[in-house]
Amino acid sequence: MTGDDTITATGTVGGSGSVPGTDQNSSVTKTWKDGGCTSTNMKKKGKTKAANNCDPPKKKKKKGKKSKKKKNSDKCGGVAVMMLTYLGDGTNRVVMVTTKGTAVPGSPFTVSKNSTFTIDATGLSKGKLESSTIVSIMSGDSVDIHTSCSKPINLGDIHGDFKITGLTLLP
């Protein structure tokens, strides 16, 4: 037999030496597949019972309330203050920070390797950073940091050459 071969035998069971619990109206179908996989269907008076060791076991469903996973947005109403540490080279760089096209107070910042600067949005009209905060190194790369809290934002997150080292989240 190859992996795709199947042998099926069907017959009526009954009379002397019959399978216990069956009668003349019962039939049994057995299927053997290569690798020892078997299935048995027993039909008795129009009802079919099936036993199959070929299928993976069914997972039991847990009863009770389904727990809702809290979104990060449930935990915060936005970012009011964010501290970033510049991880780039040792050269002084000028960094511009904008949120929805508006420069944040104190921007542009002059940074060097491992220096930290604070982006304080409490002076903005909404008192928080918008959903997207762009941090741009003048004459270099820029990164977009998602700051609406609909996606996780955590201490230690690294975005390009910047690491988040401080956060003040609004309730």
Do 127 and 78 belong to one domain? yes
Say how far apart CA 54 and CA 40 lie, in whole Å: 10
Number of domains making up the chain: 2
Do 81 and 160 belong to one domain? yes
Which tokens go with 139? 């004459």
Q: Which residues of the chain have pLDDT under 50?
A: 1-26, 28, 30-35, 37-39, 56-57, 66-73
**pLDDT score, position 72:** 43
Q: Is residue 94 part of a domain?
A: yes
Do 90 and 46 belong to one domain? no
**pLDDT score, position 157:** 97
**pLDDT score, position 63:** 59
Give the structural domain span for 24: 6-52
Q: Is residue 37 part of a domain?
A: yes
Q: Which of 67, 70, 66, 123 is nearest to 97 (CA)?
A: 123
Q: In degrees to the nearest 10, what's the CA dihedral of 140, 144, 145, 150?
A: 180
Do 89 and 131 belong to one domain? yes
Q: Is residue 79 part of a domain?
A: yes
**pLDDT score, position 1:** 46
Do 80 and 160 belong to one domain? yes
Do 34 and 106 belong to one domain? no
**pLDDT score, position 59:** 57
Q: Is 33 helix (H, G, I), strand (E, B) or coil?
A: strand
Q: Is residue 105 part of a domain?
A: yes
Do 25 and 104 belong to one domain? no
For the stretch 105-153, pLDDT in tens is 999 999 999 999 999 999 898 999 999 999 999 878 999 999 988 999 9
Q: CA angle at residue 121 from 161 to 152, to 5 degrees?
A: 55
Specify which residues 96 forms β-bridges with: 136
Q: Is residue 120 part of a domain?
A: yes
**Residue 72, φ and ψ in degrees, nearest 5:** -60, -30
